[in-house]
Amino acid sequence: MLPERCPQMPDPADPKKIRYGMIQLFILDTLAKADQPMRINEVRAVLDSAVDFSPHEREVGGTKNQSRWRAVAGFQFAPLQAAQLIVKSPAGFTITEAGRELLTSYPNPYAKEADEVAVLTRLAYQEKRRLDGYADSRYAVVGAVLDMLDNDQWVAVSDLADLSGLNSTAVLTYLTDTAPEQRVQVLDAQGRELSHAYPDLGWALGQKAELQKHGFEFDSPGLADPRSRLYAEEVRPALEESGVIVAPARRAWLVRGSSVDGQDITALWREHRFVSLAATKLRPGLTGGMSRDELKAVVDVDYSHASYAKRMSKLDEFLFFLSRMRDGDIVATTSQGRLYVGEIAGAPESVSSEDGRSNLRRDVVWVAGEGADYSDLSKELAARLQVQHEVVDLTEQLSELDGLLGAMRDVEPLPPVRELTLPDPDQDLADSLHVPLGWLSECVELLRERPQLIFYGPPGTGKTYLARKLAKHLAGENVRLVQFHPAYSYEDFFEGYRPVAGGGFELRPGPLRQIVEQARDNPTAPYVLIIDEINRGNLAKIFGELYFLLEYRGDAVDLLYAESGDSSGFTLPANVHIIGTMNTADRSIALVDSAMRRRFAFLPLHPDQPPTEGILRSWLSSLGQDSLRADLLDALNARIDDPDFKIGPSYLMTKEDPGDELDTWLRRVWKTSILPLLEEHHFGDGTDVAKRYGLDTLRAQVERGAPAELGIGDDDSSDADTH
């Protein structure tokens, strides 16, 4: 165990440093001195008085308003467990013999050597994460590509994502947790060190300097030599041959012919049954099956006049056309807003075309007819058709293209892909929610037309309840709920860096990213994200570049923490629907910016308007209760001038049958829920809230049968107890 008071070392060289190793040693020491298991908060209470934390470590902040050391300490138990220095039981944590031995090796936790402890536990934690979380074969693809890197090569994180089928976030998390030696050779798509796009990715800091030590060349803007890049298409064949990734039995391709040197030659293709690339500078006689290296040597010579970027673009086109396409693959092309499809029916051949626009050809069996209109295509396929390359891999859309192929041939197509549909509401659902069926049907129709909907109204009008019930009807278990607040950010909502046990940060998905990834895997099933109190957040800050996608679902954007070189970008799937709720007592709808109003459909839920005005009476009737509660609510709301502060029925629906205790229960609701809201509304204006809105005042009015709208004049004549 450590001495009662270790000599404090001088302030660390970096005053902003968090001393993870020191904190871990004091955790071990505290557990070593305990005669029974301890919980995390008990350990932190001991550390608070036992440790000489620096001013930076004691600085208070964050959403939980706690000191840095306290926040960090809670994350240290996982790496200590991974290193088998402590064990956890239902009663708390206990030190192991290995932990006690470690304490004897580090008698002074304030010494610089204590940093070694954090390194050891971090490595143990990374190994545990690797074993526990990376059994998925997709991570093996990332590892295999890294093993293929020569010492003078680099690879883009977007290519690792493309080859493995993971997203960039998952790839970076894997590199962070497993710390493979070659991760320093992983850059962004432009060849910049990853810290440019991911400033909090600790291990990526100084990548450029580290690579330069090994002979890597960077230009003045800090971009690695593109000639040293290992491209996805360069390694895919080897990965497929080795079985690391499974090659699809059939692929689909888009080849552009609508503007070849300014002319549309797609009609020529279909008439003469071929597809082609201009390949005006490419030497004749090339055959299929060439490797990327072989083809690169040819392109570098034949297109030596072109820029490096142009040569790389041509290399990909020729590689796809010569070596990746196979007989039986689907080929598609577009012209004047229509899509035409066919099947590859021959090996590539070089010809000398008269106009020089079609020198590299493959035979194609084109389907006769007028093709398919863009409006008949899925949004995902339509988005891929917008990718600006001469040859585009459409294998992810193979099922849809295969269906089009069969339909155009007027033969029995493959079983059609089930379309995304939102189920109609039924009378049973309407009855259970005590709202008109027509109103529910309008909600669903709005979501079909524009997949973002907001319920807005005063407190207690059932906005969140209705949103949850409607979402469950539409999407079953495919529903997530988040609540916005002023401190909520893009990083909380979509993705951002978060601290991990043992120090450092990792990129973690937020609720929107999670539901999007789930929706992509099941594109014909609806998913619903409920955003409670959406207007309490800074929407521009939270949505960021995603704001655009709410209006343009078929388009793609580059993400804040994603590879800017990702040609397909990020899209918001059509099967993700968003239902928000907005409390107008907190912020008027008039204060919502025009961009939000344009992207969402808004439905009011006001106590004196359908469907809310009839909910309480319908509910009471279904329970066989009298209408007193509904009458009291009507009388109350008639006295409230501001429609945004009227009281919703939910406050009076928390108890189905109070029985003989109805009066006691009503007084409690008035005292603890309703009057406080109205006191806040009338703060500073001199209104006697208890007298104007008191329960007895309203009850007397109801019992007299006075019209609700005339009840305000009765205030002065009522001397009843207002509570």
Are the CB atoms for 582 and 534 separated by under 8 Å? Answer: yes
Give the Cα separation of 707 and 208 in Å (integer).
79
The domain that contains 323 carries what CATH number? 3.10.590
DSSP string covering 178-197, please? H--GGGGGEE-TTS--GGGT
**Does one domain contain both 106 and 143?**
no
Are the CB atoms for 180 and 172 separated by under 8 Å? Answer: no
Within a domain: residue 367? yes
Inter-residue long-range contacts of 439-444, CB under 8 Å, 24+ positions, other chains counted? 439/610, 439/611, 440/470, 442/603, 443/470, 443/603, 444/470, 444/474
Q: What is the pLDDT of residues 146-157, one digit of tens each?
A: 988 888 899 999
Within a domain: residue 695? yes
DSSP string covering 277-304, please? E--TTSPTT--TT--HHHHHHHHHHHTT
Give the Cα separation of 472 and 512 in Å (integer).
17
Are the CB atoms for 660 and 712 separated by under 8 Å? Answer: no
Q: Where does residue 170 rank: exposed (0-12), middle (13-18), buried (19+ CB within 10 A)?
A: buried
Residue whose pair of structure tokens reads 């500073």 in the numeric block: 684
Of the three residues 408, 438, 473, the one that is the final residue of a domain is: 408
The domain that contains 168 carries what CATH number? 1.10.10
pLDDT at 708: 47
pLDDT at 196: 79
**Does one domain contain both 595 and 652?**
no
Give the Cα separation of 641 and 708 in Å (integer).
13
The domain that contains 574 carries what CATH number? 3.40.50.300
Within a domain: residue 432? yes
pLDDT at 310: 82
Give the Cα separation of 170 and 166 in Å (integer).
6
Of the three residues 408, 439, 456, the one that is the final residue of a domain is: 408
**Does one domain contain both 594 and 459?**
yes
**Does one domain contain both 263 and 386?**
yes
Structure-block tokens of residue 115 = 């940093």
Are the CB atoms for 148 and 230 separated by under 8 Å? Answer: yes
296: phi then psi, degrees, rounded to nearest 5: -65, -40
- DSSP 3-state assignment of 226? helix
Beta carbons within 8 Å of 152's beta carbon, 6+ residues apart? 214, 215, 216, 228
**Does one domain contain both 540 and 471?**
yes
Are the CB atoms for 614 and 601 separated by under 8 Å? Answer: no
**Total number of domains in the chain:** 5
Strand partners, 187: 156
Left (φ > 0), alpha (ψ -120 to 50) or beta: where does 134 sit? alpha
CA distances from 555 to 160, 383, 567, 595 (A): 23, 6, 12, 17
Of the three residues 130, 164, 185, the one that is the final residue of a domain is: 130
Instruction: Tell me the residue type at 416.
Output: P
320: phi then psi, degrees, rounded to nearest 5: -60, -50
**Does one domain contain both 589 and 441?**
yes
DSSP string covering 505-566, please? EEEEE-HHHHHHHHHHHSTTS-EEEEEETGGGS-HHHHHGGGHHHHH-TTS-B--TTS-TT-
Structure-block tokens of residue 236 = 């895919």
Cα–chain-centroid distance for residue 414?
33
CA pseudo-torsion sign 231, 233, 236, 238: negative
Instruction: State pTM to two decimals.
Output: 0.48
**Does one domain contain both 279 and 399?**
yes
Within a domain: residue 4? no
pLDDT at 442: 94
Within a domain: residue 168? yes
Structure-block tokens of residue 3 = 């001495």
| Strand pairing report for 330-335 and 338-344 | antiparallel
**Does one domain contain both 400 and 267?**
yes
Give the Cα separation of 207 and 186 in Å (integer).
9
Determine how many CB atoms are found less than 10 A away from the CB of residue 370. Answer: 8
Give the Cα separation of 290 and 286 in Å (integer).
8
Are the CB atoms for 536 and 486 separated by under 8 Å? Answer: yes
**Does one domain contain both 442 and 471?**
yes
DSSP string covering 609-641, please? STTGGGHHHHHHHHTT--SHHHHHHHHHHHT--
Give the Cα separation of 340 and 232 in Å (integer).
28
Within a domain: residue 416? no
Range of the domain at 364: 250-408
Strand partners, 507: 497
Helix/strand/coil (H/E/C) assignment for every residue in 394-429 = CHHHHHHHHHHHHHHCCCCCCCCCCCCCCCCCCHHH
Within a domain: residue 336? yes
CA pseudo-torsion sign 398, 400, 403, 405: negative
**Does one domain contain both 449 and 587?**
yes
Where do the H-state alpha helices sit in 284-397?
A: 292-302, 308-319, 379-384
- Residues of the chain with confidence (pLDDT) below 50: 2-12, 63, 411-417, 563-567, 708-723
Beta carbons within 8 Å of 636's beta carbon, 6+ residues apart? 647, 674, 693, 698
**Does one domain contain both 398 and 511?**
no
Within a domain: residue 74? yes
Beta carbons within 8 Å of 713's beta carbon, 6+ residues apart? none
Are the CB atoms for 328 and 249 separated by under 8 Å? Answer: no
**Does one domain contain both 332 and 456?**
no
